[in-house]
Amino acid sequence: MSNMITLIRFRMRNQFQLSKLFDKDLAVKTHAVITFIGYGIVFLLALGYVASVPIQMNLSNQLESVNPYIISLLFWVFSIWSLLSGVRSLLFGYDHEQVFVLPLDKWQAILINFISKYIIQVILCFIVLLVNEAVLFFISPFPLENLIIVFLFMFIIPLLSIILSSCLALVIRIVFYFLKIENTMFEAIATTLIFISPLGISYLSSKLFNPKSGIIETSFLRHSLLYKIESSEWLSIFILIVLSILLASAFLSILVINYDRVITVFIKKKAIVKKINLTTTTKIRALVKKEFSKYFSSFSYVSNTILTPVAMLIVGFGLLFGFLPTFDDIEISALNLSITSQSIYFFIFLICTTLTTSTSCSFSFEGKNVWVVQSLPISIKELCISKGIINVSLLTPGLIIAIIDCWFVLNQRGLEFFSHILLLVSSLILITLTGLFLNLKHLSFNWSSEMVVVKQSMSTILTAVVSMILISITALLIIFLGTLGVLFAILLALFGTLVCLLGIRKIHYLQEG
């Protein structure tokens, strides 16, 4: 057991870049610092939201639902995190071959990834619940014995989120395997839609719609913790905990016993091609087809870049069909400003367009096969176009719906309409080129895990930083200057696009392979 604990500590230090903070190589150290700061900022923003939840729900007379909401929110966030990481990463991990030759029992080697993720989620759960309960107790003091329930859910929620999401993902993978369907994108969409279907049904069946209603209705905690818990309620919570432990034990036991059979569904068999048809096509079309094939063949690549395009579609259709509510104007009297509901939804469209891009790792994703691309009779321009088309294609459906919403729902007309649409388009082109430029500046082909190059590469982190800066500047310009601010933001996007284009032209990627 001590060997497994030592290995988990070592892997966590590497995963969070802690081991590289004191590296002698300045580039490695800088990368680690940026990664660590990025994680820290995101986590602090999340904690800020958690701390504000009791305050918000107190104003809307929903204080009794704070704990059910937070418990359910943690479950859905952790579950979707597990789904996006993929069940394959839990079964194999990036160091699968190395782990199985270490002095560990077989069950320890098999479950090392589950245990590592569980520990991380328990720690995060502890911090989130600590902040939430502290603010809640300040607003409305509750019996301290109820913290026992919070403490128990701190262990149960991560357990359920990992087990239930992994169980469903594994079942879907097995079904696809026997049906001989090899489409990572379709499998990921099917798994995600099935898993979140209870959440969707809860929102649709809610009589009084609000952003928290569906999450509250799907909570495992059905009791308010503001008052003394009755014995019958303690019994129901105890039964839930016992069932959760039994379910997890059964799933992990079956996995350990049948591990060799389970992993066969993740091993791709090489098909023997009996017939080959030779066709001719343009270089751009061939490159785009190759990029789409490479993109959809990686679950990690898809899952970490598909969220914002999907979110943009959901928000767009929600607005178009009247599923999403309108907010009261936010008045900032000190600055004499008013932020309307229409502005808020446009900011959401802008964030979805700019926040992530598939191009920030598209060159590095070639990996050790980069020599194949560099030996082809193609130019850097053609490569950039083909890789950029992927990101643009992902966001085009959502962009079309956003344009329709701007006219019919947000009631934009004339210069206001065209300037806002131009800002969305120019922002999409800018972040696409920014990802390409930064990836070319910080190439990394010697990686062992797709997740590392997709989420933790220097270019991905820097692109995320640039996107957040762009979103912040654009939001401030629009809030303070209105339509004039939109025009300034467009000029800023065009200037950034020009800088990226000139920067890409100076990089001799194909000649320096």
Residue with tokens 């699968």: 96
- 220 and 341, same domain (yes or no): no
pLDDT of residue 335: 63
**Do 232 and 315 belong together in one domain?**
no
Q: What is the pLDDT of residue 7?
A: 75
- Residue 489 tokens, joined: 């933001």
Q: Which residues contact 304 (CB under 8 A, 6 or more apart)?
A: 84, 356, 451, 454, 455
Give the pLDDT of residue 271: 47
Q: What are phi and psi of 139, to 5 degrees?
A: -80, -45
The answer on 256 and 229 residing in a single domain is yes
Whether the CB-CB separation of 187 and 173 falls below 8 Å is answered with: yes
Contact criterion met (CB below 8 Å) for 503 and 439: no
The shares of helix, strand and coil residues in the chain, as percent rounded to the nearest 5, are 75, 0, 25
Please report how the helices 184-205 and 66-85 are oriented relative to each other, as an axis angle in degrees rounded to 10. 170
The two three-digit tokens of residue 254, written as one number: 């079956």
Three-class DSSP category at 42: helix
- Same-domain check for residues 293 and 260: no
Residues 377 and 111: their CA atoms lie apart, in Å, by 46
In this structure, the answer to whether residues 175 and 299 fall within a common structural domain is: no
Q: Cβ(288)–Cβ(389) under 8 Å?
A: yes
Domain for residue 227, yes or no?
Answer: yes
Backbone dihedral angles phi then psi of residue 454, each to the nearest 5 degrees:
-80, -40
Residues ≥6 apart with Cβ < 8 Å to 337: 331, 479, 480
pLDDT for the residue 333: 67
The last residue of one of the domains, among 230, 245, 273, is 273
Q: Which residues contact 445 (CB under 8 A, 6 or more apart)?
A: 364, 366, 367, 368, 370
In terms of domains, do 460 and 317 share one?
Answer: yes
**DSSP 3-state of 223:** coil
pLDDT in tens, 132-168: 999 999 999 988 888 999 999 999 999 999 999 989 8
Provide the angle, in degrees to the nearest 10, between the axes of the packed helices 307-320 and 380-408.
20
Last residue of a domain, one of 230, 257, 273: 273
- Sole residue written with tokens 């957040």: 468
- Residues in Cβ contact with 132 at an 8 Å cutoff, skipping those fewer than 6 apart: 50, 51, 53, 54, 66, 67, 70
Helices within 258-329 (DSSP H only): 259-262, 283-296, 299-303, 307-320
pLDDT tens-place values along the chain, 513 residues long: 677 788 778 777 776 667 777 777 777 778 778 777 877 888 888 899 999 999 988 888 888 889 999 999 999 999 988 887 777 777 776 666 677 777 778 888 888 888 888 999 999 999 999 999 999 999 999 888 889 999 999 999 999 999 999 898 888 888 888 777 777 777 777 888 888 888 888 877 766 667 788 888 888 888 888 888 888 888 888 998 999 999 999 999 998 888 888 888 776 554 444 455 656 567 888 888 888 888 887 877 887 888 899 899 989 988 888 877 766 667 776 666 777 878 889 999 999 999 889 999 898 888 777 777 777 778 888 889 999 999 999 999 999 999 999 988 888 888 889 999 999 999 999 999 999 999 999 888 877 777 778 887 889 889 998 999 999 999 999 888 888 999 999 999 999 999 999 999 888 776 543
Residue 366: the pLDDT is 83
Rounded Cα gap, residues 500 and 438, in angstroms: 9
Q: DSSP string covering 367-391, please?
A: GGGHHHHHTSS--HHHHHHHHHHHH
Task: Classify residue 478 as exposed, middle or buried by CB count within 10 Å of its CB (0-12, 13-18, 19+).
Answer: buried
Neighbours of 487 (CB within 10 A): 16
Residues 337, 465 within the same domain? yes
Tens of pLDDT, residue by residue over 56-86, are 888 888 888 899 999 999 999 999 888 877 7
Q: Cα(377)–Cα(480) distance, rounded to whole angstroms?
A: 50
329 in the same domain as 247: no
Asked if residue 89 lies in contact with residue 120, where contact means CB atoms within 8 angstroms, the answer is: no
pLDDT number for residue 197 = 85
Q: Let me know whether 355 and 218 are in one domain.
A: no
Assess if residue 36 is contained within a domain. Answer: no
Domain assignment of residue 255, given as a range = 64-273
Instruction: Assess whether 261 and 285 both reside in one domain.
Output: no
Separation in Å, CA 137 to CA 222, 282, 339, 431, 457: 19, 66, 32, 43, 41
How much is the pTM?
Answer: 0.72
3-state secondary structure of 160: helix
Number of domains in the chain: 2
Contact 134, 70 (CB under 8 A): no
Give residues with Cβ within 8 angstroms of 79, minimum separation 6: 161, 162, 164, 165, 195
Among the three residues 221, 247, 273, which one is the final residue of a domain in this structure?
273
